[in-house]
Amino acid sequence: MEERYSPAAIEEKWQSRWAHEKSFKVTEDPNKQKYYLLEMFPYPSGRIHMGHVRNYSIGDVVGRFKRVRGFNVLHPMGWDAFGMPAENAAIQNKSHPAKWTKENIEYMRGQLKRMGLSYDWDRELATCDLSYYRWEQQIFLEMYKKGLAYKKSSFVNWCPSCETVLANEQVEDGGCWRCDTTVTQKELEQWFFRITAYAEELLQCTDNLPGWPERVLVMQRNWIGKSLGCEIDFPLEKGGAIRVFTTRQDTLFGATFMSLAPEHPLALELATAEQRAEVDAFIEKVKQTDKLKRTADDFEKEGVFTGSYCINPATGERMPIYLANFVLLDYGTGAVMAVPTHDQRDFEFARKYSLPLRVVIQPEGELLEPAAMTAAYTEPGTMINSGDFNGISSLEAKAKIADWLEKKAKGCKTVNFRLRDWGISRQRYWGNPIPFIYCDCCGTVPVPEKDLPVVLPLDVEFTGEGGSPLARLESFLKVDCPLCGKPARRETDTMDTFVESSWYFLRYCCSDFTGGPLDTEKVRYWMAVDQYIGGIEHAVLHLLYARFFTKVLRDLGYVNVDEPFTNLLTQGMVIKDGAKMSKSKGNVVDPNALIEKYGADTARLFSLFAAPPEKDLDWNDQGVDGCFRFLNRLWKLVHELLPKIQTAGAVDVAKLSDDARALRRTVHKTIRKVTADIDERFHFNTAIAAVMELVNAVHAFAAKNSPENSALMKEAIESTLLLLYPFVPHFSEELWEMAGHKGGIEAAGWPSFDAEAAADEELLIVVQVNGKLRGRITVSVDADEESVKAAAFADDKVLGHLEGKTPRKVIYVPGKLLNVVV
RNA sequence: GCCAGAGUGGCGGAAUGGUAGACGCAGUGGACUCAAAAUCCACCGGGGGCAACCUCGUGCCGGUUCGAGUCCGGCCUCUGGUACCA
C-alpha cells in the first residue's frame, strides 16, 4: 500500500510536536559548544514576503545543521516594530499604530510558525514593547553621561504645507509625497550619537573580521572614509579666519578663491550690503535642492560672491569668498580652499565665474597653461609657483607644506572622517521617546533613572500634519522639572528605529531580564553572534550602527566582545520578471498561497535551490513544481523500499557487486559534498542538486537490482533523509519515523562519511593538445605520470591531432588532465 | 555622481586557473491510457557533417598563461547603498 505525500498533515504534525516539546528552547550550557545564529528580524509590515521566506529558510538550514552536529544553538526571532509605515497606516486607515503593529505581528508570527522554523519562541521580543524600549532609554542616558549623546542643530526636509518633517523617501522629485509642495531644508535642534568617536576603531576592526564578505568591509571602510590632511586658517580681511580642511595642501599656492557651504555660519556674516540680496536668494535656492542631486558630479556647479575676501596664508594674496552649492557643511569644516587648476569642481566653478587660475603642479614632460586647460590636473607632478617648495615632487611637498604650516602656526595636520555623527531625532510618534525634559531655568535635563521609563502614550491623534502628535498632547508634554520642580516640557522627538536594531541581538540573550538592559552573564555566554544572515541592503548603515552600539555597550560594561557578528552572510534579493517584488509592479508572490499549495518544505526547498544565498534569486513558479515533484518522487521511492529498510542490517562491503559499490561511492561522495557545501560555503543549491543526483542514482539502481541489496538501500535512503533534514525537516522527520526510528531524526546525528567507500577505483584523465580537449582516457587510481602519458599517446584521437608534430612540453595535472603542447 | 556587486543555453543556475552548461525548469519524441492528467524512458547551446567528428560559444575590447567563465586593464548594461525606508 502506497501512501500519498500530503505535506499539510505532516507539517502540522511536526510543527505541533516541536511547539509542544519546545524542541528549540535553549539555555546556557557550559558543557556544550554554543552557536548563536541570527537572521535580521523583520519589520511587521503585514505579511511576510519572499525575501523573508528566503532569509529564514537559509537560517533554518544552518540552525538545524548545527544542532544535529551537537551545538547548543541559540536561534531567536522578534520584531523591529517601531517605524514610519505604522504611522502612515494610522493616518490612512484611522487605526492606531500600536494596534496595527500588534495585529501584523500576530499574523506574521503565524506565518513563520507555518514555515516550520526552529526558533526559540520563548525569547521573542518586539521593540515597541515597553519591556524593550525602556532599557534603550536607560542606555541613551548612560551614553549622554559619557558625552556620546548630544544636541546640535542640523537640517531636515520640511513640508511647509503639512508643517511636518519628511523622510528622504517621502520626498519625490523635490516635492512632498502627500501634497506635492516644494520641500525645503529647515534647521532644527536634534539629538546625535557621537559615532565619530569610534570612527578609528570601527575602521581598524574591519581588518579583523575574516568572516565578513570583503565587499561589505570595503563599503564600510569607504563609508567611514578616513583621510589624512591639514586644517588651514585663511585670515579674513575684516578679522578672524576661515578654517578649511584639505588633503591637497600641496596645492595651497594655487588656491585663488574660497568656497563655503551655503549653510556655513559665516555665510551671512560675510555677505556685504550690495551682495546681500543675491546671497539670500542663492541660499534659499540651495535649501530647495535635493541633497543627492547637489553632490552629483554632473550637477551644475553654482555659487555666489559674498563680497568679502580672505588671505592665502602662503602667497599673501586676496581670495574672493564664494558660496558654492557643491560644498557640504557636514564634511570637513564646510569650507574649501579652491584650487581650480588641480580640482575638477573648482575648475568648472572658476571657468563659470571667470576666477583666476594658477598652475602649481606640472606633469612630467608637459607644460600646463591655465588658459589652455580643459580640465583640472589632479595627478602628482613637480611643484612650481610655490616659493621654497618649487622643484620637488608634489608627494614630497604634501609632507613638507604640512610641516611648514605647523611651524608657522598657520595650520595643523589632521585626520578627517567622511563618517558623520548619527542623527537620531525623529519628529514622529511611533518610536522610542527620548528621555529628556526642557526647563526654562535648568535647561536640558535628563529624566532621572527612577522616573524611567518614559511611556509612549496611546491617546493621540493622527493627521499627518502639524508635526509630531506627541508635541500636541498636553498630558505628555507638560511635566515638572526634576531639578527645580517648576513646570517644564518633555522632549517630543523619538529615536531613529535603527537604534532598536543596534542592540536587539544582545537582548535576545536575556529577553526576559528585568534588572536592566542586559544580563551580562548570559550575554557573556552567547555573544558574539556566530552567524548573522540578512539582506545586502544593510551592508553599511544597520551593520555599522550595530557595531558602534556593541562597542559603546562594551565600554559601559555590559558586553565583553568588541564586534557583534563573527560571520556575516549577506543574501541577495528576491526578483521576479527582472524586478524586485513590489505591489506597484504587480509581481508579488504570496508565501501563503505557495505554502497552501505545496507545503512549507517545498517553499523552503525551492528558495534554497534556485540560487546561492548571496546572489539575487529569480522567482519562477514552475521551478517550485520541480521541487515538489522531487519530494513526491523520493516519497514514493522510500515507500517502495520501506519493507527492505525496516528489516535490513548493516552493509557487508565484501559482498557488494561493482554496481552496488558504485552506488555506495555516490552515497558517501554526496555526504562529503553536502556537508562541505553547507558548512563551508552555504551553497545550498549545489548541496540539494547533489542529493537529487543521489536520489536519481538510487532510483536507477533500485529499478534493476535484486533484493539482496537491502542493507545498501537502507544506508542510501537513510543518508538521503538525514542530508535533507535541514532543508525539508517535516518531510525527513516523517519518513525517518516510518523507516522505524523513534525519538526524532536529530537523535541520529549527521550521517558519517566513509572515505574508503567514497574512494574512486579509476580516474578519468582529460587529454588536451594545445589547450584544446582532444581525448579522454581512463586510468587506475594509482597510475603515475609516465603511464598516463603512455596511455594518452596511445589514444587514437590524441594521435590524430599530434600527426607530424613534435611535443614541446607536456603538462600533467595529477588525476585530472594532461596537456600536450606542440 | 560616488561606493559596492552582477552579467554563462529558451529560463534559474553549475564549474580549487584545467572536460563550459551539473541539478532543476521549459521544450521535443516515445511508453502507459479509450483519452487526458500524473508517472516513467530518451533527446535537449549555435553552425557544419550520413556519421566518426569538426567548428564557434560564458556582456564588449585588449592582456597574462601550456590552458581564462574564473586573473589583470579599459568599456557597456543592470542591481544594492548613498546617512529620516527598514
3-state SS class at A152: strand
- CA to C1' distance (Å), from A41 to B61: 45
- CA to C1' distance (Å), from A523 to B74: 51
Per-residue confidence at A579, pLDDT binned at 50, 70, 90? low
Closest residue to B18 measured CA to C1′: A817
Q: Give the Cα separation of A594 and A620 in Å (integer).
A: 12
- Please give the average per-residue pLDDT across A375-403, as a whole number: 90
- The pLDDT > 70 percentage for chain A reads 97
Q: Which of residues 733-772 of A touch strand B (CB under 7 A)?
A: 764, 766, 768, 770-772
Closest residue to B84 measured CA to C1′: A167
- CA to C1' distance (Å), from A200 to B50: 74
End-to-end CA distance of chain A: 65
Kindly state the DSSP code that residue A243 receives in the 8-state scheme: E
- CA to C1' distance (Å), from A111 to B15: 37
pLDDT tops 60 at residue A2 = no
Is A80 (CB) below 7 Å from strand B? Answer: yes
- CA to C1' distance (Å), from A632 to B33: 22
Closest residue to B80 measured CA to C1′: A537
Q: What's the confidence (pLDDT) of residue A512?
A: 95
- CA to C1' distance (Å), from A765 to B51: 26
Q: Which residues pair with A322 in a beta bridge?
A: A259, A305
Q: What's the confidence (pLDDT) of residue A675?
A: 97
- CA to C1' distance (Å), from A215 to B73: 21
Is A298 (CB) below 7 Å from strand B? Answer: yes
- CA to C1' distance (Å), from A775 to B53: 12
Per-residue confidence at A367, pLDDT binned at 50, 70, 90? confident
Residue with cell 534556485: A610
Q: Phi, psi at residue A309, to the nearest 5°?
A: -130, 155
What's the helix, strand, coil split of chain A in %, to 5?
45, 20, 35
Closest nucleotide to the alpha carbon of A218, via C1': B4
Closest residue to B66 measured CA to C1′: A821
Is A776 (CB) below 7 Å from strand B? Answer: yes
Q: Which pairs count as long-range contacts for A674-679, CB under 8 Å and 24+ apart, including other chains?
A: A674/A723, A675/A750, A675/A753, A678/A61, A678/A62, A678/A65, A678/A726, A679/A65
Chain B nucleotides near the protein (CB, 7 A): 1-6, 11-16, 18-20, 22-26, 38-41, 53-55, 66-68, 79-86
Is A213 (CB) below 7 Å from strand B? Answer: no
Q: What's the confidence (pLDDT) of residue A578?
A: 64
Closest nucleotide to the alpha carbon of A796, via C1': B52
- CA to C1' distance (Å), from A50 to B25: 19
Is A627 (CB) below 7 Å from strand B? Answer: yes
3-state SS class at A412: strand
Note whether A324 and A348 are within 8 A (CB).
Answer: no
- CA to C1' distance (Å), from A770 to B62: 22
Is A685 (CB) below 7 Å from strand B? Answer: yes
Burial A377-407 (b: 16+ CB within 10 A, else e): beebbbbbebeebeeeebeebbeebbebbee
Is A700 (CB) below 7 Å from strand B? Answer: yes
Is A468 (CB) below 7 Å from strand B? Answer: no
Q: Give the Cα separation of A400 and A396 in Å (integer).
A: 6
Q: What's the confidence (pLDDT) of residue A1?
A: 38
- Residue A193, all three cell numbers: 550619537
Q: What is the DSSP annotation of A155-208?
A: EEEEETTTTEEE-GGGEETTEETTT-PBPEEEEEEEEEE-GGGGHHHHHHGGGG
Q: Give the Cα separation of A707 and A799 in Å (integer).
A: 46
pLDDT tops 70 at residue A232 = yes
Q: What is the DSSP annotation of A46-104?
A: SS--HHHHHHHHHHHHHHHHHHHTT-EEE---EE---SHHHHHHHHHH---HHHHHHHH
Determine how many CB atoms are found less than 10 A away from the CB of residue A198.
22
Q: What's the confidence (pLDDT) of residue A582?
A: 67
Note whether A232 and A246 are within 8 A (CB).
Answer: yes
Is A177 (CB) below 7 Å from strand B? Answer: no
- Please give the average per-residue pLDDT across A524-538, as a whole number: 95
pLDDT tops 80 at residue A637 = yes
Q: What's the confidence (pLDDT) of residue A585?
A: 66
* A242-268 tens-digit pLDDT: 999 999 999 999 999 999 998 898 888
Q: What is the DSSP annotation of A20-32?
A: HHTTT-----TTS
Cα maximum dimension of chain A: 106
- CA to C1' distance (Å), from A464 to B29: 65
- Residue A387, all three cell numbers: 616659493
> Which amino acid belongs to residue A466?
G
* A121-151 tens-digit pLDDT: 999 999 999 999 999 999 999 999 999 999 9
Q: Give the Cα separation of A598 and A601 in Å (integer).
A: 8
* A45-79 tens-digit pLDDT: 999 999 999 999 999 999 999 999 999 999 999 99
Going from the N-terminus, what domains does chain A have, and what CATH number goes with each?
226-417 (3.90.740.10), 621-758 (1.10.730.10), 762-821 (3.10.20.590)
Note whether A275 and A373 are within 8 A (CB).
Answer: no
* A302-335 tens-digit pLDDT: 899 999 999 999 999 999 999 998 898 888 899 9
Q: Which of residues 97-136 of A touch strand B (CB under 7 A)?
A: none
* A778-805 tens-digit pLDDT: 888 888 888 888 888 888 788 888 777 7
Q: What is the DSSP annotation of A748-772?
A: G-SPPP-HHHH--SEEEEEEEETTE
Is A219 (CB) below 7 Å from strand B? Answer: yes
Q: Give the Cα separation of A414 and A417 in Å (integer).
A: 10
Residues in chain A: 822
Closest nucleotide to the alpha carbon of A292, via C1': B82
List Cβ neighbours of A637 (8 Å cut-off, separation of 6 or more). Answer: A695, A698, A699, A702, A717
Work out whether the CA dihedral A148, A151, A154, A159 comes out positive or negative. Answer: positive
* A173-223 tens-digit pLDDT: 888 888 888 888 888 999 999 999 999 999 999 999 999 999 999 999 999
Closest nucleotide to the alpha carbon of A578, via C1': B78
Nearest to A503 by CA among A448, A561, A447: A561
Q: Give the Cα separation of A740 and A770 in Å (integer).
A: 57
Determine how many CB atoms are found less than 10 A away from the CB of residue A607.
29
- CA to C1' distance (Å), from A707 to B23: 29
Closest nucleotide to the alpha carbon of A572, via C1': B80
Closest nucleotide to the alpha carbon of A813, via C1': B18
Closest nucleotide to the alpha carbon of A695, via C1': B23
CA distances A114 to A1, A43, A118, A333, A387, Å, are 29, 18, 11, 54, 76
Is A153 (CB) below 7 Å from strand B? Answer: no
